[in-house]
């Protein structure tokens, strides 16, 4: 439990973390405090905007729209990595969410991700009271890229908030588990799409092991980042292992790597089992198969992901990822997806 940072404390924390901050109008007093309490705060939620263009996005998240008045977040993180502060206090960003997830965040008791949320905006716990909110400029279609400078800014923002609460002596924010994606908070949300929250939290945790002034680009042994996009493929069969087609290789040749691949499927029966795994080939022949991860099909589109926090690709091998659907023998569509990969040669 923690008292929210003041506006001055937040601004100072973001600047100390090396971020470029734009103060938009009366952001310090622009809020929804008349609709309910602000605090205690327990975490920070990351969103995508489903918009394009920094200027128009700032206007939307500051002013809102007829059905949802602004501000819609505390800050908007643009494609260029600039952070636009648009509000402070209670903002219309989190909505209702799962009380079980809130408990896990408060206790920081979950593993790589909290349990799936069972409540949403209409029947959930008030998240606008308990979370900082960060909207990130992206169309959210699985195709719109996340530039390195924008993703780095998202990491820095989360680290800055955690660091500032630590400096106040708060018990909250002792590690990166106080950072959530909107889809982890509310059962009726899917954002952010294009990177996974376990990967983001791992990057936030790594940043918190360094001082706020740390610039990872100055490290001697920096990894290479690769973000190939999943190719859309229609009418794929269930009941067999299928490679995930990408517009570029995950890893080729000897390398240590950390990878997350997210896939969006349409037409999968609710409750069907989706299994995913990494594998390696040499000369077109399979040489290594990784551990299987299971997800369940859901009503509407099904989003599945598989992470590997630390793997090694052999000399001469090519790393791939594949999935299979069991309990639904019909066809489905591979709609979109994205890989996030760091590797060290």
Mean pLDDT by 10 residues, the chain (345 residues): 90 96 96 96 97 96 95 97 97 98 92 93 96 97 92 97 89 78 97 93 90 78 85 96 94 88 95 95 90 91 85 88 95 94 85
Q: Kindly report the CATH class assigned to 223-344.
A: mainly beta
The pLDDT, as a whole number, for residue 48 is: 98
pLDDT of residue 309: 64
CA distances from 190 to 53, 120, 129, 240, 315 (A): 21, 11, 21, 27, 38
Where in the chain are all domains bearing CATH 2.60.120.40? 223-344
Nearest to 136 by CA among 125, 127, 149, 123: 149
Rounded alpha-carbon distances, angstroms, from residue 242 to 183, 324, 333:
26, 6, 12
Beta bridge partners of 236: 332
- In this structure, the dihedral spanned by the alpha carbons of residues 205, 206, 209 and 211, taken in order and rounded to 10 degrees, is -110
Instruction: Specify the CATH number of the domain 7-217.
Output: 3.40.80.10
pLDDT in tens, 60-107: 999 999 999 999 999 999 999 999 999 999 999 999 999 999 999 998
For residue 314, the model assigns a pLDDT of 84
In the numeric block, which tokens belong to residue 57? 């996005």
| Res 112: pLDDT | 87
Predicted confidence at residue 171, as pLDDT, reads 65
In sequence order, which residues have a C-beta less than 8 Å from that of residue 113 and are 6 or more positions away? Answer: 184, 197, 198
Residue 344 has a pLDDT of: 84
Hey, what are 138's tokens? 């992206």
Output the pLDDT for position 173.
Answer: 55
The residue with tokens 């069907």 is: 272
pLDDT digits (tens, 9 = 90+) for 272-305: 999 999 999 998 899 999 889 999 999 999 999 9
Query: What pLDDT digit, counting tens, does each position of 204-219 carry?
Result: 998 998 899 988 876 5
Task: Please tell me the number of Cα atoms within 13 Å of 69 on its side-chain side.
Answer: 7
Residues of the chain with CATH 3.40.80.10: 7-217
pLDDT at 215 (0 to 100): 87
The 3-state secondary structure of the chain, one letter per residue:
CECCCCHHHHHHHHHHCCCCEEECCCCCCCCCHHHCCCCCECEEEEEECCCCCHHHHHHHHHHEECCEECCCCCEEECCCCCEEECCCCCCCCCCEECHHHHHHHHHCCCCCCCCCCCCCCCCCEECCCCEEEEEECCCCCCCCCCCHHHHHHHHHHHHHHHHHHHHCCCCCCCCHHHEEEHHHHCCCCCCCCCCCHHHHHHHHHHHHCCCCCCCHHHCCCCCEEECCEECCEEEEECCCCEECCECCCCEECCEEEEEEEEEEEECCCCCCEEEEEEEEEECCEEEEECCCEEEECCCCCEEEEEEEEEEEECCCCEEEEEEEEECCCCEEEEEEEEEEEEEEC
């Amino acid at each position: 439990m923690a008292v929210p940072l003041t506006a001055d404390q937040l601004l100072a924390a973001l600047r100390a973390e090396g971020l470029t901050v734009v103060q938009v109008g009366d952001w310090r007093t622009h809020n929804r405090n008349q609709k309910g309490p602000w605090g205690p705060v327990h975490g920070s939620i990351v969103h995508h905007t489903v918009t394009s263009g920094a200027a128009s996005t700032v206007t939307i998240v500051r002013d809102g729209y007829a059905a949802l008045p602004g501000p819609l977040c505390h800050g908007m993180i643009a494609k260029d990595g600039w952070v636009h502060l648009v509000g402070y206090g209670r903002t219309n960003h989190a909505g209702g969410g799962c009380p079980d997830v809130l408990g896990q965040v408060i206790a920081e008791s979950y593993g790589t991700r909290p349990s799936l949320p069972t409540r949403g905006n209409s029947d959930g716990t008030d998240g606008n009271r308990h979370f900082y909110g960060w909207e990130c400029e992206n169309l959210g279609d699985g195709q719109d890229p996340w530039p390195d400078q924008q993703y780095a800014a998202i990491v820095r923002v989360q680290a800055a908030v955690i660091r500032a609460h630590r400096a106040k002596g708060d018990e909250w924010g002792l590690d990166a588990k106080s950072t959530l994606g909107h889809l982890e908070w509310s059962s009726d949300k899917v954002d952010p799409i294009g990177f996974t929250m376990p990967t983001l939290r791992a990057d936030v945790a790594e940043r918190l092991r360094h001082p706020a002034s740390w610039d990872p680009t100055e490290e001697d042994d920096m990894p290479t980042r690769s973000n190939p996009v999943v190719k859309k493929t229609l009418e794929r069969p269930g009941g067999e292992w299928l490679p995930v087609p990408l517009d570029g290789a995950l890893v080729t040749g000897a390398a240590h790597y950390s990878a997350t691949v997210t896939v969006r499927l349409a037409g999968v029966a609710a409750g069907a089992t989706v299994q995913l795994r990494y594998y390696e080939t040499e000369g077109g022949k399979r040489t290594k198969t990784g551990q299987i991860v299971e997800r369940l099909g859901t009503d509407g589109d099904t989003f599945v992901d598989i992470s590997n926090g630390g793997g090694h690709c052999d000399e001469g091998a090519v790393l791939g990822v594949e999935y299979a659907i069991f309990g639904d023998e019909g066809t489905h569509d591979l709609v979109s997806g994205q890989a996030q990969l760091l590797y060290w040669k």
